[in-house]
Amino acid sequence: MKLTLKVWRQQNSQDKGRFESYQVSDVSTDMSFLELFDVLNERLINEGKDPIAFDHDCREGICGACSMYINGRAHGPWHETTTCQLHMRAYNDGDTIVVEPWRAAAFPVIKDLAVDRSAFDRIIQAGGYISVNTGNAVDANAIPIDKVDADAAFAAAACIGCGACVAACKNSSAMLFTSAKISQLALLPQGRPEHKQRAEDMVAQMDKEGFGSCTNTGACEAECPKGISITNIARLNREFITAGFTSK
Amino acid sequence: MKWSQFFNTSIGKKLLVGATGLFLCSFVIVHLAGNFSLLKEDGGEAFNTYAAFMGHNGLIQFIAWGLKIVILIHAVIAIQLTIRNRAARPVKYAVRPGNKTSSWYSRQMAVMGSVLFIFIVIHLSQFWWAMHYGDIGKVSYGAVTEVGNLYEVVWFAFKESWIVALYVLGMVALSFHLIHGFKSACQTFGLNHPKYNGLISFIGVWFFGILIPLGFAVIPVVIYIKQI
Ligand code: HEM
Ligand code: SF4
Ligand code: FES
């Protein structure tokens, strides 16, 4: 396949940035989207040009690093798929593909397609943990947990912090991410004692980072590579409302 | 967290928009029920008696003023959130997903809300202002004497095709605003449960989103047709 790539190039956070076009030929349908960038970067390096900066690590859909906004879609067109798991068979010969970084005030561009997602780390640092030592693993079933709740907590814990929810949301809202991080603890007995303080602190941090608010359009859920559901956002709202009305 | 902090968070503000929005939803039901008496060709007896009662009952007057304040609170906070949301993405994407990841009306709440706001201002200046501060004709029906003939004012206004079109447009905006708004407000309050989601969607789309705006829109259209 022969493809035209229009890639966002930006030297640093101060630079205004611009699109640059690249023709890539001999693209195999078996390549992953990141491998396409590897091939292009190798060529740019050989030509003595600056390679395109992009984040990646595991390349198997579990680390959440590979942020790319591809033809208007976070991580490209495939459902529940990260960029590293997107393969070139999703495209046809002659296609033009526009690749942009995540766009959010809270995720400043570091270079080209790489953005700074440390705002997510600070939301977790604000309360996404249990502050006492929970000790060694206890006997199975020593603490009874409803299977339904255990499964929901596990599903929420599947969030890889990739930021696609923020990238896909028209308000750059981090509600889906924050709700997943709150739900994985709120649903389990170990997370209950601190649930009010956690909800208040994490929401306050989320706002402070400059993410927008949720207008319930559902774009986050549609683009999340881990299938995190917006039922978690409803849970976050319940947690925050109960905290707001009853915390001392 | 203090109340002042709570209502300054994004979720706290959303709660205020949702609560005022649901209050307005309950209002539109009552408003529509009363309006249907406009279609009676009884020289305005039913409608004018109703309007006079609404205009003189102390409790209803209190609610009516509260309603205008609620609309303002709803609009001001919603616009405040919209401005913050725009600021959260200073550089826009070159390519956007269109309707692939969300419905267009869920993204246009501020636009539909603003159309509604303009509609409400026109609507109030046309009828509410005329009733309370304008110089409109008086009629008497048996025990009910010397009440404002708002019925005549309304029928007169809906002779004009562009006014009818304006009202229909206002109701299209209401329709899309509520198709998303009712469900969205429920989600903001945390009401999301597999046993009730179907019902919430149904009420939001069919009752508030379609039936109510359609009911409102039918009235000016029928009055117009009857007068040609
Ligand atoms: C006065 C003009 C109005 C404006 C400017 C306006 C604006 C808005 C905006 C921008 C939102 C989205 C807020 C968000 O999702 O964060 C919204 C939500 C909503 N509006 Fe309005 N609106 C207006 C009138 C109305 C009326 C007349 C009703 C009811 C009959 C209504 C009911 C709702 C509901 C139920 C929501 C959903 C709240 C939520 O998502 O939590 N609005 N409005
Ligand atoms: S909720 Fe989904 S889209 Fe958002 S950060 Fe977690 S895995 Fe990524
Ligand atoms: S590189 Fe780890 S999820 Fe894509």
pLDDT at B141 over 90: no
Predicted pLDDT of residue A138:
84
Q: Provide the percentage of residues in chain B whose pLDDT is more than 70.
A: 100
Nearest Cα of chain A lies from the Cα of B49 at a distance, in angstroms, of 42
> Given pLDDT bands bounded at 50, 70 and 90, which one contains residue A67?
very high
pLDDT at A176 over 80: yes
Residue B166 located in a structural domain: yes
Are the C-beta atoms of residues B186 and B142 closer than 8 Å to each other? no
Residue B97 located in a structural domain: no
**Which of B85, B97, B180 shows the shortest C-beta gap to A212?**
B85
Q: Which tokens in the block code for residue A232? A: 């978690």
pLDDT at B143 over 80: no
Rounded to 5 degrees, φ, ψ at A7 are -115, 140
> Given pLDDT bands bounded at 50, 70 and 90, which one contains residue B130?
confident
Q: What is the pLDDT of residues A112-149, one digit of tens each?
A: 999 999 999 999 999 999 998 878 888 888 889 999 99
Predicted pLDDT of residue A38:
97
CATH superfamily of A118-246: Alpha-helical ferredoxin (1.10.1060.10)
Ligand 1: residues whose CB is within 6 Å?
A: A 213, 215-216; B 14, 17-18, 21-22, 24-25, 28, 71, 74-75, 78, 81-82, 109-110, 113-114, 116-117, 120, 177, 181-182, 184-185, 188
Residue B99 located in a structural domain: no
> Given pLDDT bands bounded at 50, 70 and 90, which one contains residue A248?
confident
Residue B220 located in a structural domain: yes
Nearest CA to ligand 1 atom 15: A215
pLDDT at A90 over 80: yes
Q: What is the pLDDT of residues A201-245, one digit of tens each?
A: 999 999 999 999 999 999 999 999 999 999 999 999 999 999 999
Give the class (CATH, top level) of A3-111. Answer: alpha beta
How many domains does one find in chain B?
A: 1
The DSSP result for A28-91, as a single string, is -TTSBHHHHHHHHHHHHHHTTPPPPP---S-SSSSS-----EETTEET-SSTT--GGG-BGGGS
Residue B26 located in a structural domain: yes
Among chain A residues, the shortest Cα distance to B193 is held by A231
B33-68: burial string, b at 16+ Cβ within 10 Å, e else: eebebbeeeeebbbbbbbbbebbeeeeeeeeeeeee
Q: What is the CATH number of the domain that holds B13?
A: 1.20.1300.10
Residue-range definition of the domain harbouring residue B56: 3-90+107-226
Predicted pLDDT of residue B128:
87
Predicted pLDDT of residue B132:
80
Residue B102 located in a structural domain: no
Q: How far is Cα A100 from Cα B148, in angstroms, rounded to an integer? A: 62
Nearest Cα of chain B lies from the Cα of A205 at a distance, in angstroms, of 10
